Amino acid sequence: MTLETSFRLSNEYSRQLDQADPLRELRKEFYIPKHGVYLCGNSLGLQPVGTRTLVLEELEVWKQQGVTGHFDHPHGRPWVSMDEQVTAKMANVVGALPSEIAVMGSLTANLHLLMASFYRPKGERTKIVIEEKAFPSDHVCRVACATC
């Protein structure tokens, strides 16, 4: 059995799968570039249609309220508890309980926090291995933590 016969690779079959996909309506929630197939996993992903509005709203809150937006937010999204607002939703996405996950910042910041907290080299196993094409900031984090 070849890959082609086991998966019936064709444009027609792909269109049939797209039509049967229960999530197909979500496509209109994203801007999809016209320049081919978008399969980049090392990025922000496709931009949701509502992103511009939400970012402009947050900029306006920052402008009007400054630091108090952390606690008193006119749209009900106080910055200080933003992680709590999305934890239950993310727990559902990853199949965990809200008490089992943490929603945090960027990968680089998370790597730094983990390594600074737990990396304690001793003996002969003292190297930090990281993929060659990681974000440059991840490499800086690795070097910084390796010299701590």
Tell me the pLDDT tens digit for each residue of 136-146: 888 888 888 87
Low-confidence ranges of the chain (pLDDT < 70): 1-8, 41-43, 148
Convert the pLDDT of each residue in 56-77 to its tens digit. 999 999 999 999 999 999 999 9
pLDDT value of position 29: 96
CA proximity to 115, closest of 88, 133, 142: 142
CA–CA–CA angle 55, 93, 106 (5° rounding)? 50
pLDDT value of position 42: 62
Q: In whole numbers, what is the pLDDT of the chain averaged over residues?
A: 86
pLDDT value of position 6: 60
Dihedral sign from CA coordinates of 51, 54, 59, 62: negative
Residue 4's Cβ-side half-sphere holds a number of Cα atoms within 13 Å equal to 2
Specify the length of the chain in residues: 148
Other CB atoms within 10 Å distance of the CB of residue 130: 14
Alpha helices in 66-125 (DSSP H): 82-94, 107-118
pLDDT value of position 58: 97
pLDDT value of position 1: 44
pLDDT value of position 41: 64
Tokens of 35: 């320049």
pLDDT value of position 91: 93
Q: Which residues in 4-35 are b (16+ Cβ under 10 Å) and which e?
A: eeeeeeeeeeeeeeeeeeeeeeeeeeeeeeee
